[in-house]
Amino acid sequence: MDLVQSIDRALTILEVLSNYNEGLGVTEISQEVGLHKSTVYRLLSTLIYKGYVIQDADTNKYKITLKLFELGSKKVESMDLLSASKTFTKMLMEKVNEVVHLVVREGNEIVYIDKVEANNTICMASTIGKRGQMYSTATGKVILANMPETQCINILNNSKLEMKTDKTITDIDVLKKQLKEIKNKGYAIDDEENEFGVRCVGAPIFNRHGEIEGAISVSGPSNRVTEEKVETIASEVMKYALLISKEIGYRK
């Protein structure tokens, strides 16, 4: 690896200082990083000039500033869910060879903001921009399960719970019980509840604040996304949902 020695040393000093809230003196830093005090002093001078380190006027000890945090925050704040998810939704589709959806909540509904078609002969009728009900879809239910309970109940109370198929759950008490199970398991299933003959498995995406940001799902004909395959598919959906969450700043 072609390392730039001075940059490597400067970053090592920052890493060491990050472990000491009260700061360290030049001699202590020199001992920690294994460099001569004169070298450490020159590197610290540059880091101070660039705003990454300050020297306490009373103790003469050196401390890191919040500049690295500011730089990292700019990266996270500029990262959009759609662009951050692209690589992972494609990988998930290739893994299971079924269509993958990315959704976000808007009001009492979900909105499909991305779709990755599978390489099979049966295409799903969903389209980007289409809206769906939260109570009858895998992505909608997994979002409901991971939001504050009062907010969830408010959405259910203000939604018209219609029978989409003979498997649709329209009883709020039954839904509330299922949502608790979904939160514990980490994924939700739409077992032909929204569209006859279609089974979906969804998992939540969280933002850097640990709040629900959206969800992804794998959808396919129920004769292909069988009950026997649900747990295997769910494992993959949760894996890639977590990768997307981490990409937008979530830390479990």
Same domain? For 173 and 211 the reply is yes
Boundary residue ending a domain (74, 97, 121): 74
* Domain harbouring 69, CATH code: 1.10.10.10
Which strands sit side by side in the sheet containing 109-116, from one edge to the other?
Answer: 131-133, 109-116, 99-106, 212-221, 198-206, 188-191
Pairwise CA distance, residues 106 & 33, whole Å: 51
On whether both 50 and 85 belong to a single domain, the answer is: no
Contact 89, 116 (CB under 8 A): yes
Run of H or E including 205: strand 198-206
Q: Are residues 66 and 83 in the same domain?
A: no
Q: Per residue in 14-55, pLDDT tens?
A: 999 999 999 999 999 999 999 999 999 999 999 999 999 999
Q: Give the whole-angstrom CA distance, residue 127 versus residue 138.
A: 16
Is 120 part of a structural domain of the chain?
A: yes
Residue whose C-alpha is closest to residue 205's, from 143, 113, 133: 143
Per the structure, the complete domain to which residue 196 belongs is given by 79-247
Answer yes or no: do 59 and 142 share one domain: no
Q: What is the pTM of this model?
A: 0.71
Query: What is the mean pLDDT of each successive set of 10 residues along the chain, which is 252 residues long?
Result: 89 94 94 95 96 94 90 66 93 95 92 87 68 94 96 93 93 94 96 92 95 95 92 97 94 82
**Is 160 contained in some domain?**
yes
